[in-house]
Amino acid sequence: MVEYFKTHYAKHEYHIAMRDGVKLFTAVYTPITGQFTDAGPYPFLMSRTPYSCAPYGEDKVMPRVVGNEGLIRSGYILVCQDVRGRWDSEGVWLEMTPAKDGKGVDESTDMFDTVEWLLKNVPANNGKVGILGISYPGFYAAASIIDGHRAIKAASPQAPVTDLWMGDDAYHGGAAMLEQNHSFYAEGFAPQKNPTTTEPRSNFDTGTKDAYAYYLKMGTMGALDTPAGGTNPLYHDQVAHATYDDYWKVRNISAHMHGVKAATMEVGGWFDAEDLSGPVKIFHAIDAQSPASAENVLVEGPWVHGGWSRGDGRTLGDVSFGSATAAFYREKIEAPFFEHWLKGASWTEMPKAFVFETGSNVWKKYASWPPKEVSAKMLYFREGGGLSWSAPTEKVGKDEYVSDPAHPVPFTEYTTDTTPQRYMADDQRFAARRPDVLTYVTEPLTEDVTVAGPLMPKLRIASTGTDSDFVVKLIDVYPEDFKSGDEAQGKRVTGAAPVYMQGYEQLVRGEPMRAKFRNSWEKPEALMPGKVTTVDFTMQDVNHTFLKGHRIMVQVQSSWFPLVDRNPQVFEDIYKAKPEDFKKATETVFHQAGAASGVELMVLAH
């Protein structure tokens, strides 16, 4: 694309002054006259990022705005801006800049001031602005439209970082998302001495390709928050604030989505290992706080983090989705959205929710999310590893396992030095073979079962420890006579061990819950050893059909390492835990009358 940009776009660089005098680096690519069918004037299509608008210099081109070639070739004024305090922009950067709600300078005011400048100083514009971004730039897309400028006609926060502690990048269910956060900060994301165009990356290296072994050897969160552990001030803040305190609360952008005037399209992937919760949270927040917005729609596909912006989206790991879902999104959803709102192109009106249904592998359109046709149904754990829609009647029913922090349950069967995106749909048969994982499974289904919305485990547990984690996994078990229709089944990776889909246990959704947060995210409470205790929580949304002949499985375990940090199973501040604090605990899960455990699903009527 570099040569295309050289022949079709002219690059200009500016340092635009904000209302407090701080200047933000902004790269502007304007269409060259005569190179596009659309002769202009052109709308702005913009992204704001903490990851750099490089390359710097007007003779170096490659706009980091959008990866959709259909939009690039249509003709837009492409704008990339280094946010306050990062790279070639002045000012002080804050992790997840707290919104000031009109009482000070924040990302919304920076966007407002930038739009004002662009409209007045960039010729041949049509007075309309669109903004989009994935992940951290997704946060900036959402933050930029709060009390937004009237010229912002379209916005697409994609996998937006939204509420870091509450089921987002940093913590899930009160448990730290260990590997992906440590590797993110230790290997490259750190405070900068800006303005700069050449900030070096960290040279930190764990020295091994085995993340499980590395984090087990490091032992504690405190050991990682040292120079030897590759820490920096940003990582320190992540691990030192281990409850939902004011540090996190002011950074929850979904609490501030008022004054949104633009048409907004939140985009996410059902298998996003980083920012799964953000699109749904921003979608609901705008509906609640900005009901007068031009439009607000949710798009979810069978994608990993940012997977809709690249590749074709046909597969994830061993699982096939039957079509080029990412290409479909870019051509049939994203491009028409911006073309309509920024250029006035005709289009077919978007549904409120345009979502891909995994399992059945079809796109669905709904007037709400979750669909109004769903109803809550409880799947109960039963004796002998059964899973049933009927509640247990037995007076006594329970299962036990020993959770040993010295031998935590891995989150992948294979050795990895990162958090592989594919783990979100990986085969779970390896976990079912461990004695410290409980497995409950239905009989083969006699009809399709579609689950659409959040999952709600309702556990009745007892522990010999004073704190424990409970990881719940919803799994689709393929039949033993499954036919994939894929001649390459088991042979996708040359030289790798074959993988066959007969009996495959596909992860649909998994989430941890740290029991000490069962009553409050702000004020943790110890478990009383041996006492039957309620641990209820909510897992991330799914949209999945368990096909006739498949079985529904639920697994319960107390570690998921090193995806999630280890719980010492002693009630304490885990950041301050010492190696000797980590103790074995016997975990009991009850499935009896008066103490029934299971998972509540939002089941769609067929």
Provide the 10 A C-beta neighbour count for residue 36: 16
Q: How confident is the model at residue 82 (pLDDT cuts 50, 70, 90)?
A: very high
3-class DSSP state for residue 331?
helix
Q: Give the span between the Cα atoms of 163 and 514, in whole angstroms.
A: 18
Strands (E) across 83-148 are located at 125-134
Quick one: tokens of 360? 């059945």
Per residue in 350-379, pLDDT tens? Answer: 999 999 999 999 999 999 999 999 999 999
SS (H, E, C) 254-284: HHHCCCCCCEEEEEEECCCCCCCCHHHHHHH
Mean pLDDT of 193-211: 90
φ/ψ of 513, rounded to 5, equals -140, 120
Phi and psi, residue 159, nearest 5° = 45, 50
Say what the pLDDT of residue 498 is: 78
Tell me the C-alpha distance between 295 and 153, whole Å.
10
Mean pLDDT of the chain: 96
CA 43/CA 261 separation, integer angstroms: 17
Query: Crossing angle, helix 233-240 and helix 178-186, to 10 degrees?
Result: 160
Would strands 315-316 and 319-320 be described as parallel, antiparallel, or unpaired?
Answer: antiparallel
pLDDT for 296 equals 98
**Distance between alpha carbon 406 and the CA centroid of its chain, in Å?**
29
Place of tokens 């088991």: 490
Q: Is the pLDDT of residue 492 over 80?
A: no
Q: How far apart are the first and last CA of the chain?
A: 46
Q: Are strands 469-477 and 551-557 parallel, antiparallel or unpaired?
A: antiparallel
Q: Give SS3 for 384.
A: helix
Would you call 104 helix, strand, or coil by DSSP?
A: coil
Question: Cβ contacts of residue 88 below 8 Å, gap of 6+?
Answer: 15, 25, 53, 56, 82, 194, 195, 196, 197
**Cα–Cα distance between 428 and 451 in angstroms, integer?**
20
Q: Which two tokens stand for residue 385?
A: 């590893």
Question: Which pLDDT tens digit goes with each residue over 381-393?
Answer: 999 999 999 999 9
Q: How many angstroms separate the CA atoms of 47 and 333, rounded?
A: 19
* pLDDT exceeds 60 at position 182: yes
162: CB partners within 8 A, 6+ apart: 139, 142, 168, 252, 253, 254, 275, 277, 278, 281, 282
- Taking only the tens place, the pLDDT of each residue in 431-454 is 999 999 999 999 999 999 999 999
Per-residue pLDDT, 427: 97
Please give the pLDDT value at position 486.
57
- Cα separation, 131 vs 188, in Å, equals 26
Residue with tokens 């662009």: 118
Specify whether the CB–CB gap between 532 and 461 falls below 8 A. yes
pLDDT of residue 490: 52
pLDDT of residue 64: 86
One-letter identity of residue 477: V
pLDDT 10s digits, 460-482 = 999 999 999 999 999 999 999 99
3-state helix/strand/coil string of 191-260 = CCCCCCCCCCCCCCCCCCCCHHHHHHHHCCHHHHCCHHHCCCHHHHHHHHCCCCCHHHHCCCHHHHCCCC
Q: Is the dihedral of CA 27, 30, 36, 39 positive or negative?
A: positive
In angstroms, rounded to a whole number, what is the distance separating the alpha carbons of residues 400 and 589?
Answer: 6
Strands 505-514 and 449-463: unpaired
DSSP 8-state class, residue 422: G
Return the percentage of the chain with pLDDT > 70, whole number.
Answer: 98
Which residues have CB under 8 Å from 291's CB, separation 6+? none
State the pLDDT confidence band at 493, using cuts at 50, 70 and 90: low
Burial of 360 (0-12, 13-18, 19+ CB in 10 A): middle
The tens digit of pLDDT for each residue in 84-105 reads 999 999 999 999 999 999 999 9
At 494 the pLDDT is 57
Identify the three-state secondary structure at position 291: coil
Residue 336 to residue 152: CA distance in whole angstroms? 17
Contact call for residues 263 and 153 (beta carbons, < 8 A): yes
pLDDT tens profile 532-560: 999 999 999 999 999 999 999 999 999 99
CA separation for the pair 87, 286 (Å, rounded) = 31
φ/ψ bin of 230: left (φ > 0), alpha (ψ from -120 to 50), beta (otherwise): left
Tokens read off for 358: 């995994």
Which pLDDT score, from 0 to 100, does residue 606 have?
76
Position 225: which residue type?
D
pLDDT digits (tens, 9 = 90+) for 295-325: 999 999 999 999 999 999 999 999 999 999 9
Give me the mean pLDDT over the 413-420 stretch: 95
Q: Dump pLDDT digits (tens) for 30-61.
A: 999 999 988 899 999 999 999 999 999 999 99
Q: Read off the tokens for 315.
A: 């597969």
d(CA 80, CA 60): 14
Task: State the pTM of this model.
Answer: 0.97
pLDDT tens for 144-176 read 999 999 999 999 999 999 999 999 999 999 999
Residue 485 has pLDDT above 80, yes or no: no
Q: What is the DSSP string of 496-526?
A: SPP---TT-EEEEEEEEEEGGGSS-SSS---
